[in-house]
Structure 1
Amino acid sequence: MGRTRNVRLEAAIQELGLPHARLAARFRAVAAEIGAAELAATAPSSITRWISGTRPSGRAAHILAETLSRGLGRTVTVVDLGLGAEVGDDLSPLQWSVDTLTTLVDLGGIDLDMDRRRVLASSAYSVAGLALPSQTWWEEAGERARARTPVAAHTVTLQDVENVMEMTAFFSRRDQQRGGRGAGRTALVAYLRAEVADYLAGRFVSEGVRCAMTSAAGELAYLAGWTAFDAGEHPVALRWFTLATQLAEEARDAPLAGHVLRAMAHQAVDLHQPAEAVRLSTASLEGKRYAEASWREKALIGVVHARALAADARRKEAAAALLQAEKDLSRAGGDDEPGRVWFFSEASLAHETAAALRDLGDLRGAQQQFERSVRTRAKPFARTHVVTMGYLGSVQVAQGQVEAACATWSRALDAMPGIASGRVQDTVVQMRRALRPVLARGGRVASDLDQRAQAVLHGVG
């Protein structure tokens, strides 16, 4: 019996309106993004075969669905394309309608199982999964959580909430000092999946305690997402961020929801999805997410919005957003701390401002702001400090300041021992890439630095 032509796939490709050669090129770009080296040589003839009825093997079906989702601007699943799906084969990001407690336990189980986590981490980062729910969903989230039937015997008190907040602060400090990979992240996820999930399933002495515990859980889920982001496991991070946003809304904690949406926008910027970053960062500023936030929180979500606008080449809007973030932070006093695990300071604002200016092509301004960030960064934030110095070296060498860049990068390498971070590792990769064209001009200093960087790469992560 011959193969049956896949009319669903054919229709989607016709809707996109690209010739097979250009679609194959986009497919290869998504495959490269997630490290699917086995698909690097995918040719237009593969598209033709898939339309004629041959099923893509391995990860190809999901990568094809993601490629078409990005091109069409809407969610396209493997089922939509007539490519079928085994039970448990759908690695698309979370749906907003799922039960948060079930999701927490299931996602925690995936994260703690290294084999399952590798499969999820190697799936495509999905712009389709960034679609936000309807306004009705946001409005009803708190009521859905309040009406949930308790399934655990424990009665949750404010002391339990304080215990979770103390553990979150501990895990946050460790993440800043040691990075998002390794035992710290494993312990964080295990604690979230076991004890915190049990609290959420219990009875609450009051509605205020329910909201406080749910908010604390959302903050910890955000941190789990951030550690996955730092480890370079972007599909995993996106799932945690989605869950954290759901928990924040169930807690009626609008500033926390805005903060997590800000993190999703930051991730989209880093993964070269500027339009999605603008949409997410705009959502982070809407309504109570900005209005009820502290001045430091306002500044943080505002500066990431500026970065998204800069990445999308919206220069005037980006400049205005940077100015507003600076004003917001200037209004923060000593008693304005939001009580969250994150900390936004002058060094943080300078780092994000520099990244926006760099993306706008203002290398001189970016250098000044990166230098300001390095100068004012507090000692406990070792991981971010290293990343900032890596970026500073890159803008220095781009302006022909080879000697200064080598000195900056040398300081960055000196600070790396003990930090297990995908972003730090990527800093070293970018360092060597920027050094390559100027090795001859940099002489022995540049050559020695390149050898040091290569040695660090072999030992990082």
Structure 2
Amino acid sequence: MGRARNVKLAAAIAQTGLSQARLAARVVSVAAEHEADELAGVGQSHIAKWVSGVVPEPPGPRILAETLSRSLSRLVTPADIGLTADNEIEPPTWSDDTLTALVTLGSTDMVDIDRRRLLANSVYSVAALALPEDAWFEPALDRARARKPLSSYVVTAQDVEDVREMTAIFSRRDQKRGGRAGRTALVAYLRTDVAELLRGRFPSESTRREMTSAAAELAYLAGWTGFDGGEHAIAQYWLTIATKLAEEAGDAPLAGHALRAMAHQAVDLGHPQQAVRLAEASLSSRRYAHACWRERSLLTVVHARGLAAAGEKKAAVAALLRAEQDLGRASDRDDEPNRVFFYTEASLAHETAATLRDLGDLPGAEAQFTRSVRTRRAQFARTHSVTLGYLGAVQAQQGHLDMACDTWSKALDAMTGVQSERARETVVQMRRSLSPFRNRAGSHAEELDARARSMLNQV
């Protein structure tokens, strides 16, 4: 049986009015911009083969889609031209066109009948954690400035404010209910309304940068909620897009914030060396120096966690001290971005405790987790439940089972209504710790285990 002709691609090429030879020349030009040397020899015969049904090797589909986007003055994704299945996600690359990557990922990161297959086929990529040299990031602003608009809509300051307001709503919902709550609406808004604004015309460079920064923060939140929901491959892709958008906006602190989230994810997934490198990138002079004190502390404490996981005790302790000093300099009078509203004494204590735990200082970790629980505000239910889960685990590790059971009982209370894989994982760990004791009829451990088993179906 022969290959099926790619009618979607043929139709798109026909709409451009270009010959296959002229289209091939444009593909070569776009490939050169992205340093995709493997496409330098594309000619008319390649276009003909792709139309006949041959699927080009990556990054061919993305480069061809971008070339057609420019020729048609509208966004074209690989899926639109039959070169990527709607339920397939390729590992992220820094050279991809940011806007195309945003829409392509957004179209797959939705709840539909193929979502389980999508998640099963998507893999967190350690290789993709390798960052480009600074020389790649530096011209990001110029690359974005040169991007041609794909829509006639003129973006306004009110549009920027609207995106920031929606981001604040989604962010507060995440803190209260967990990453899975409302995530479908967040991604839908990002890939439709926000993507359309990014395609529009900007009356000034400042408006372009403000809108791109607002979009970057929402993409960061899409990544963070994916991470909290346990969808690590998708989270990684969104955080990569967020970093690129932030660089294209010239918003160095926001780029650092997204890299910090990538470092946090790498620590949790057991890749400490990569986490340290990402955290160090988030602390680069331009990203750290222009951040507010609260955000500086957040960047530094995640660096400490990476160092601890990597076994670098002295450096981790020094980073913890620096994080505490930075947060101590924060003031209510500071001009702070909304994205750090959650980072308080309780947050610092939580991350400090996790660092001390990884360093083997269980009493110190217990004291800091307790401090976090004591100072946490009520609206942060998701993180509060995770902190209680971690505190119970540290208490159990020290042989204080009754104390741990009391703490875990409070954790289960706090998880009511929370939809978070990180919270769920603390319940799984809880049941592992309780397994030697769960068969003692009438015991506190047996009762708690039964509650934990029921909670696994809800979180």
TM-score by length of 1: 0.78
| 8 Å CA contact 1:402, 1:438 repeated in 2 | no
Q: 2:186 and 2:395 mapped to 1: Cα distance?
A: 37
1:196 equivalent in structure 2: 194
2:65 equivalent in structure 1: none
Q: 2:368 and 2:298 mapped to 1: Cα distance?
A: 16
1:126 aligned onto 2:120: no
Q: CA deviation at 1:125?
A: 1.4
| 8 Å CA contact 2:86, 2:107 repeated in 1 | no
Q: CA deviation at 1:348?
A: 0.4
Q: CA deviation at 1:336?
A: 2.2
Q: CA deviation at 1:401?
A: 1.0
5+ long unaligned stretches in structure 2: 1-82
1:98 equivalent in structure 2: 96
Stretch deviating more after TM superposition (335-344 or 347-356): 335-344
Greater C-alpha Rg? 2
Q: CA deviation at 1:392?
A: 0.2
Pick closer, same or farther for the CA change 1:129–1:116 going to 2, 3 Å. farther
CA-atom RMSD in angstroms: 1.8
1:355 equivalent in structure 2: 354
Q: CA deviation at 1:297?
A: 0.5
Q: 1:253 and 1:399 mapped to 2: Cα distance?
A: 44
Q: 1:307 and 1:336 mapped to 2: Cα distance?
A: 26
2:54 equivalent in structure 1: none
Q: 2:254 and 2:167 mapped to 1: Cα distance?
A: 14
Among all aligned residue pairs of Structure 1 and Structure 2, give the percentage whose two residues are the same amino acid: 62
Pick closer, same or farther for the CA change 1:154–1:88 going to 2, 3 Å. closer
2:424 equivalent in structure 1: 425
TM-score by length of 2: 0.79
Pick closer, same or farther for the CA change 1:443–1:392 going to 2, 3 Å. farther
Pick closer, same or farther for the CA change 1:177–1:87 going to 2, 3 Å. closer
Residue in structure 2 matching 1:259, options 249, 257, 260 = 257
Pick closer, same or farther for the CA change 1:113–1:458 going to 2, 3 Å. closer
2:375 equivalent in structure 1: 376
Residue in structure 2 matching 1:291, options 289, 292, 300 = 289
2:412 equivalent in structure 1: 413
Pick closer, same or farther for the CA change 1:120–1:134 going to 2, 3 Å. farther
| 8 Å CA contact 2:437, 2:446 repeated in 1 | no
Q: CA deviation at 1:459?
A: 2.9
Q: CA deviation at 1:89?
A: 9.4
Q: Match of 1:376, as an amino acid?
A: T
SS for the counterpart of 1:341 is helix
Q: 1:442 and 1:361 mapped to 2: Cα distance?
A: 34
Q: CA deviation at 1:437?
A: 3.0
| 8 Å CA contact 1:120, 1:235 repeated in 2 | no
| 8 Å CA contact 2:87, 2:114 repeated in 1 | no
Q: 1:362 and 1:165 mapped to 2: Cα distance?
A: 40
Q: CA deviation at 1:190?
A: 0.7
Q: CA deviation at 1:340?
A: 2.5
Q: CA deviation at 1:457?
A: 1.0
| 8 Å CA contact 1:117, 1:236 repeated in 2 | no
How many residues align? The count is 375
Q: CA deviation at 1:448?
A: 0.4
5+ long unaligned stretches in structure 1: 1-84
Q: 1:311 and 1:377 mapped to 2: Cα distance?
A: 25
Residue in structure 2 matching 1:235, options 224, 227, 233 = 233
Stretch deviating more after TM superposition (127-136 or 168-177): 127-136
Q: Match of 1:223, as an amino acid?
A: L
Q: CA deviation at 1:88?
A: 8.3
Q: 2:151 and 2:111 mapped to 1: Cα distance?
A: 25
